[in-house]
Structure 1
């Protein structure tokens, strides 16, 4: 058994959560007016909003059914966080050194201007070169958001009962993919809301904001009537990020027992691997800082019918950064 010298242990206080770079509605990707209100069409519209960023399948400022914002609070539950010398995306963590592992997970409330120390034990990372960053987190993500629109919007209170203020209003959990009929179904995190349940409400004044949740049940763009693709619906994305955490991300869905998930019903965790552009080099004297950033990647989604109904806020990918300092 390895004997660790205390002067080579990086103590709890050096690993911290920094809530950085949150946007408010005025800085979000939904198009806003001079008062910071999200611009929405007056009256009924099948495409009521606009987004200010061009993507592969959207041209900036085209009328559409959804646009991107940053949540006011993002809730994450992280089970594992570490560095690996070999690619762990096939669920082999034998090459990984963990800053922490928690069976219950460590819940983080990410919000602007708030930092917190993570309640984890002392840890030791073997000196070496690490080309992979690994994070395992719950597939159930919580969000709080409130904002203002340029014209009236209807939420869960029904037609004609809305207003220019909207907020997350349902503490239940939606699924990212549903069976064909859109009915509520049993997920790894309990029974989901039915697909047609609105989780946003609106009114003539600010309402009571609650945390609403989304369980990521599938990455591929198909419904839950078919099983997940191989290796937990494995998906690899284009290179992203900046600085020391720039790299190519790969995500897999896992069961609660850390095996690859096979269906929407047993998808409990996300395994997130980043193949780093520049490897971390750890020495005996290294210190570490972890920061989490919620980006403008959460979608406000509206009905595609001829109305002014807002349906939900969809989850987006947070960014988890690690800084290693000698």
Structure 2
């Protein structure tokens, strides 16, 4: 993860690094660092408030994204035509720039553009809607995965879909888990495609946009699924990219005295470790690591 670059802005040397921040607490109750299994059943785990369920929100070991656009804007990029005309970019690539995020590592990110001097009150990120997760989790009780059982479970090479409606993916279940378990973890990247901004279920309805913004420390974040040509996606199959737009609480100023940038990802709770009970076999399976939202900020130095 030592991808380095130099960026000349107003005659200055500018550097950009990705920083991952995280809290130490996790959503599920643990015993000696391992997630506690309360029952081999439908609600095997409990969150830190004591609520029973079948999933834990965790900090992933590794998170992989493919970035097409990243920058700041003077007008909202979350608009009817998805116009980015008001934006100035650090990353502007039709092919995409792959980047792997790992906590607590700090790594340079490849950029291919420069920010124009000015004041910006919006941030934009356009990335592939296929997010990669490589993760190992430990439980206090042995459970099952794709080929074995054990207290340690990890992601395997596989692709799932958020709403479960994309062709060519597996449906994570006890029959086809996207995780394996045993004594010696050999994690690989598992990918989740956001085929809709809405849940699946028995009568799924495609949604290209989220219903409301997500409030975070730096502003209000909204997301929209796009086709590869950056027009709004129309169905489960043609969604190829994700537009993330943030209305900033405080404007970002780029000036001749700017010496660098830090792109900060907050990854806490950005993976959902999903469990599923097979009643017929009376077995609990680790079936999937689902991609949940992360937070992003740009620090101007």
Task: State whether TM-score is above 0.5.
Answer: yes
Distance 1:319 1:96, change over 3 A: same
Match of 1:214 in 2: 192
Match of 1:67 in 2: 56
Q: CA RMSD in A?
A: 2.1
Would you say the 8 A contact 1:9–1:123 is kept in 2? no
Matched, 1:269 2:232: no
Match of 1:100 in 2: 91
1:113-132, Cα deviation, whole Å (9 max, x unpaired): 322222223513232x2110
Determine which of 148, 158, 162 is the counterpart of 2:149. Answer: 162
1:2-43, Cα deviation, whole Å (9 max, x unpaired): xxxx561554x51111233375xxx4222101x11110125x
Determine which of 252, 266, 275 is the counterpart of 1:302. Answer: 275
Cα distance in 2 between the residues matched to 1:322 and 1:168: 30
- Indicate the SS of the match to 2:30: coil
Would you say the 8 A contact 2:195–2:239 is kept in 1? yes
Cα distance in 2 between the residues matched to 1:276 and 1:163: 45
Deviation of 1:225 (Å): 6.4
- Indicate the SS of the match to 1:274: strand
Match of 1:14 in 2: 15
Matched, 1:140 2:122: no
Distance 1:274 1:10, change over 3 A: farther
Cα distance in 1 between the residues matched to 2:296 and 2:214: 17
Higher helix share: 1
Deviation of 1:94 (Å): 1.1
- Indicate the SS of the match to 1:28: coil
Match of 2:179 in 1: 200
Distance 1:282 1:37, change over 3 A: same
- Indicate the SS of the match to 2:237: helix
Distance 1:259 1:224, change over 3 A: farther
Cα distance in 1 between the residues matched to 2:122 and 2:113: 22
Higher strand share: 2
Distance 1:217 1:7, change over 3 A: closer
Name stretches of at least 5 consecutive residues in structure 2 with no aligned partner: 1-7
Name stretches of at least 5 consecutive residues in structure 1 with no aligned partner: 1-5, 53-59, 180-184
- Indicate the SS of the match to 1:109: strand
Deviation of 1:318 (Å): 2.1
Q: Give the TM-score of the pair, scaled to structure 2.
A: 0.87
Cα distance in 2 between the residues matched to 1:312 and 1:279: 39
Would you say the 8 A contact 1:174–1:194 is kept in 2? yes
Matched, 1:46 2:15: no
